Structure 1
Amino acid sequence: MTTYHLIGIKGTGMSALAQILFDSGEKVQGSDVEKHFFTEEALLEKNIPILPFTTDNIKKNYTIIAGNAFSDDHEEIQEAKRLGCTFYRYHDFLGELAKQYRSIAITGSHGKTSTTGLLAHVLNEAFPISHLIGDGTGKGHVDSEYFVFEACEYRRHFLSYEPDYAIMTNIDFDHPDYFTSVDDVFSAFQAMADRVRKGIIACGDDEYLQRITAKVPVVYYGFGSGNDFQAQNIQNTKNGTSFDVFVRNTFYDTFTIPMYGDHHILNALSVIALCHYEGMPAEDIKKLSSFSGVKRRFSEKTVGKQIIIDDYAHHPREIMATIESAKKKYPTKRIVAIFQPHTFTRTKTFLQEFADSLAGADEIYLCDIFGSAREETGKLTIADLQALIDDCKMLDINHTEVLEQYEDSVLLFMGAGDIQKFIEAYKPGVHDKIINK
């Protein structure tokens, strides 16, 4: 039996892949930096070894899979090539793995992780499946009928895949360190559409996805009347959102999801369309209602009257959607947005859009920009964003107690960097106890 060694095993995709291989009966280990990542917990539960980087980790008979964050001059990659090991980049290995199953790739500029998690949940209730979710969650099954996986467009990595089906949630300009414009993003998705073998489920409310051409059937979903799958009669309830689904203008059934906001309805519609296309009965698809969510996507905890939410939102469109969800779920509470911009390139590109999207909150705090070590920072600082937002404050990690004043409120921590350290630093009530001593 070969041993799979994953370089950068704590990455969200790599961690999920390690779990799939382990569940499928393979011998798995990996290496990474010593810094703690939330993805470690699932690996430790399965006793998958996590080693510090060293060339001693690499043996000639190992299959090596390298995360995309590591360049070819990394010491372990260099050693793997010197020894002539079987070597893959993450996306290339995933492309090979997907060929073994009836594969469903979930892609789009936003909503990939939530939609992948939702589809995996519904299919898992009816079939043995394998899945890879971009929150670091992976599951393998030797008798899998489906393989559901998140397919990222960054650097066109998703062109390594030839899935049976693709769900395309939207096309938007992001990753400005790689893509030059929204048209460049569109060209990547068009190339991806050409690689799909059986069918595409696409959001028909998205103007760019309407322009996609394909050799396979394209089924559209959305709110607009021209969609094949359309949501109508939307109701916000204490348990989430219910809505009627019409298939080509004929009533199909009523569904409930335990989330709030239009983007969640669209994600659910894509899952309903795919499952309907595959012949699943509506009663099985209704398992949508028991979905418990994915990591770092509107993850909530309650402390007194405060609701503390951790969310991965790092693009203006995602920030608007997350604030909308919070308002719909907690209509009587104040929304306090705490935002950490992710990368200097993205912050500079979307400076005004970030300011506009945050304006939906009642109070706004900013954290310093989380930048990559490989980035040019230029002269941009967080003050440039703060200047565009009225009554906006900076949050000092050593003085997070200022958030205690917002008693009956939602504290919405958003960012793709290390925003969690601000959540961990915020200990409601502790400051009062220190003063009272």
Structure 2
Amino acid sequence: MTNYHFVGIKGSGMSALAQILHDMNEKVQGSDVEKRFFTQIALEQSGIKILPFQKENIQPGMTIIAGNAFPDTHEEIQEAMKLGLPIVRYHQFLGDFLKQFSSVAVTGAHGKTSTTGLLAHVLGGAKPTNYLIGDGTGKGVKSAEYFVFEACEYRRHFLSYFPDYAIMTNIDFDHPDYFANIDDVCAAFQEMAMQVNKGIFACGDDEYLQKIQAKVPVLFYGLGDDNDFQARNIVKTTEGTTFDVFIRNTFYDTFSIASYGDHNILNSLAVIALCQYEGIDTDIVKQRLLNFEGVKRRFSEKNVGSQILIDDYAHHPTEIKATIEAARQKYPDREIVAVFQPHTYSRTQAFLDLFAESLNLADKTYLCEIFGSARENHGKLSINDLQEKIPDSEMINEEDMTPLQVHEQGVIIFMGAGDIQKFQVAYENLLTHS
């Protein structure tokens, strides 16, 4: 048994990894800032000790796993160096850890978390499966055969991994604080592709992914005719979506999912393709696809009075569009209301027109102040620059959420990657006390 200490255990990847190691009977504890994060709920449920940062947490005999956000000058890392303890960065540890399993990296600009969660759920119905999801969820199983994990392109962290398989959902320009342009993003994905050992499942409807080259087979999935795995005869209802899958133009089987929007068909196709390639029983795949309940902060619904409140992580124009379209499929007769908090000034500036375009798909839009990073220089940009581009949009703040009450039968979607949840909590409190 190894004694692990996590520096920054509340990070989404870190908390998930801590849960996996704990489940595999390792000794696990960690430290972080005092502020409460949603990721710590699962840690607390597992009985994993969370300490405030202080150098006294570091004791002889520990192996230190350090979060990417904390520099070597951090007091705990300094103390570990003094004691001569092994210190490994999160993504390096994960890169070594996954070699024990048949590993699947799920990567892409959008859809990583949902696809990782879905694949873990489906594979887990057939074989013991470890998984690490970017929403802070992780599970370790003794005797696991598969390891499914979310691999993020930000700062090229995914280049620490040499997985057996990779699912690539799409390539899009995001993280403008790091990537220079779309070509820079494509170069990172191309480099990742060369590190995959057995096969890549890439969305062939994505113009950038069509150019991916690798030393292993690249199988394409999508809605277009040129794909190896294609969804046809799609039937969308308010209950979900059903479609036929053809493999190289030969009918394979019919699948149903209890989710909405084309993006969820594509995510399911990626999972179906990998499972078919690995010889997983099709009946198990069909059943598990249908009873998947989703992942945290992805179209998480709640009925409050006559309204439906949805919490979603959408923070890029492509994701906002997909979320609004999914809401329209499920609730075709209701008013769709967007409450959006832009995440970082750099992203808001880079996608100002595209944010406006996607938010204009809602019937009404409310905007929250930009959730900026302290490190950012935001110049003259303000939320008003976005508001001017969305006709009839209004500003809203946590202290006064009453404007939302006029949308009596509305579907209200709270979207963002910052602390948008506090606006939903404030609104729910208003409704319960009014």
Secondary structure, in 3 states, of the residue corresponding to 2:428? coil
Partner of 1:100: 100
**C-alpha offsets along residues 59-81 of structure 1, whole Å, 9 cap, x if unaligned?**
23211111112222222122222
Partner of 1:31: 31
Name the TM-score, length of structure 2 as normaliser: 0.98
Equivalent pair of 1:9/1:30 in contact (CA under 8 Å): yes
Secondary structure, in 3 states, of the residue corresponding to 2:47? coil
Equivalent pair of 1:303/1:428 in contact (CA under 8 Å): no
Partner of 2:357: 356
**Residue pairs, 1:39-188, within 5 angstroms:** 39-188=39-188
Secondary structure, in 3 states, of the residue corresponding to 1:6? strand
Equivalent pair of 2:238/2:331 in contact (CA under 8 Å): no
Q: Quick one: which amino acid aligns to residue 305 of structure 2?
A: G
Moved more, 56-65 or 89-98: 56-65
Using the TM superposition, give the Cα deviation of residue 432 of structure 1 relative to its aligned residue in structure 2, in angstroms: 7.5
Does residue 208 (structure 1) correspond to residue 208 (structure 2)? The answer is: yes
**Residue pairs, 1:218-233, within 5 angstroms:** 218-233=218-233
Output the CA distance in 2 between the equivalents of 1:331 and 1:181.
37
Equivalent pair of 2:221/2:269 in contact (CA under 8 Å): yes
Using the TM superposition, give the Cα deviation of residue 195 of structure 1 relative to its aligned residue in structure 2, in angstroms: 0.2
Moved more, 415-424 or 237-246: 237-246
Using the TM superposition, give the Cα deviation of residue 320 of structure 1 relative to its aligned residue in structure 2, in angstroms: 0.5
Regions of 4+ moved over 4 Å:
428-432
Output the CA distance in 2 between the equivalents of 1:201 and 1:114.
16
Name the TM-score, length of structure 1 as normaliser: 0.97
Distance 1:249 1:378, change over 3 A: same
Secondary structure, in 3 states, of the residue corresponding to 2:138? strand
Partner of 2:412: 411
Equivalent pair of 1:404/1:428 in contact (CA under 8 Å): no
Distance 1:432 1:44, change over 3 A: closer
Does residue 317 (structure 1) correspond to residue 315 (structure 2)? The answer is: no
Q: Quick one: which amino acid aligns to residue 377 of structure 2?
A: E
Using the TM superposition, give the Cα deviation of residue 377 of structure 1 relative to its aligned residue in structure 2, in angstroms: 2.2
**C-alpha offsets along residues 174-209 of structure 1, whole Å, 9 cap, x if unaligned?**
000100001000000000000000000000001111
Q: How many residue pairs align between the two structures?
A: 433
Output the CA distance in 2 between the equivalents of 1:190 and 1:364.
37
Does residue 389 (structure 1) correspond to residue 390 (structure 2)? The answer is: yes
Aligned-residue sequence identity (percent) comes to 66
Partner of 1:330: 331
Partner of 2:305: 304
Using the TM superposition, give the Cα deviation of residue 428 of structure 1 relative to its aligned residue in structure 2, in angstroms: 6.6
Distance 1:242 1:64, change over 3 A: same
Output the CA distance in 2 between the equivalents of 1:163 and 1:48.
28
Equivalent pair of 1:401/1:427 in contact (CA under 8 Å): no
Output the CA distance in 1 between the equivalents of 2:291 and 2:431.
35
**C-alpha offsets along residues 308-337 of structure 1, whole Å, 9 cap, x if unaligned?**
000000001011011111111110110000
**C-alpha offsets along residues 388-407 of structure 1, whole Å, 9 cap, x if unaligned?**
11111001111112111101
Output the CA distance in 1 between the equivalents of 2:382 and 2:85.
44
| Structure 1 gap ranges (5+) | none
| Structure 2 gap ranges (5+) | none
